[in-house]
């Protein structure tokens, strides 16, 4: 439970920054190009996701979910944590909307987040033997 609250506190800043940066990328029509050739059909300057929902609303929802994590920790079930903040923000800003969470909830992404979080933890938890070990050793 403590980890869920910690993830909530840590998630407010990255998504607030993504929200502000999304406004700037819309103003300057930022996209992916190389020497005038667009490398992707997606742009960081979009207004709506593929389902017609506002990208700004998605980013605001991420902030709100992290603020309210104590009441409703469902954001942690979507594998939105400090090791996936950047990819979630990028996919939302590119307009993938709810498909972002289909990506983050895949087993490989959950294992990635678990591994990254274990590498930076003071206490490590191993899935197999349900045992904590001191990571400083």
Let me know: does 80 contact 8? Beta carbons within 8 Å.
no
pLDDT score recorded for residue 2: 58
Question: Kind and range of the H or E element at 37?
Answer: strand 37-43
Question: Kind and range of the H or E element at 111?
Answer: helix 107-119
Greatest alpha-carbon span in the chain: 54
What are the pLDDT digits (tens) for 86-123?
999 999 999 999 999 999 999 999 999 989 888 776 55
pTM check: above 0.85: no
Let me know: does 12 contact 67? Beta carbons within 8 Å.
yes
pLDDT score recorded for residue 4: 58
130: region left, alpha or beta (phi > 0 left; psi from -120 to 50 alpha)? left
pLDDT score recorded for residue 39: 63
pLDDT score recorded for residue 74: 87
- What residues in the chain have per-residue pLDDT under 50? 132, 134-137
């Amino acid at each position: 439970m403590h980890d869920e609250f910690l993830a909530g506190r840590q998630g407010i800043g990255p998504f607030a920054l993504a929200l502000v940066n999304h406004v700037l990328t819309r103003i300057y029509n930022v996209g992916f190009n190389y020497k005038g050739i667009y490398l992707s059909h997606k742009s960081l300057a979009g207004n709506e996701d593929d389902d017609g929902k506002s990208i700004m609303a998605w980013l605001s929802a991420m902030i709100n979910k992290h603020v309210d994590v104590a009441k409703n920790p469902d954001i942690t079930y979507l594998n939105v944590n400090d090791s996936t903040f950047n990819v979630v923000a990028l996919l939302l800003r590119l307009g993938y909307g709810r498909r972002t969470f289909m990506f983050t909830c895949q087993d490989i992404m959950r294992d990635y987040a678990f591994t990254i979080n274990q590498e930076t933890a003071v206490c490590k938890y191993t899935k197999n033997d349900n045992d904590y070990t001191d990571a400083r050793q």
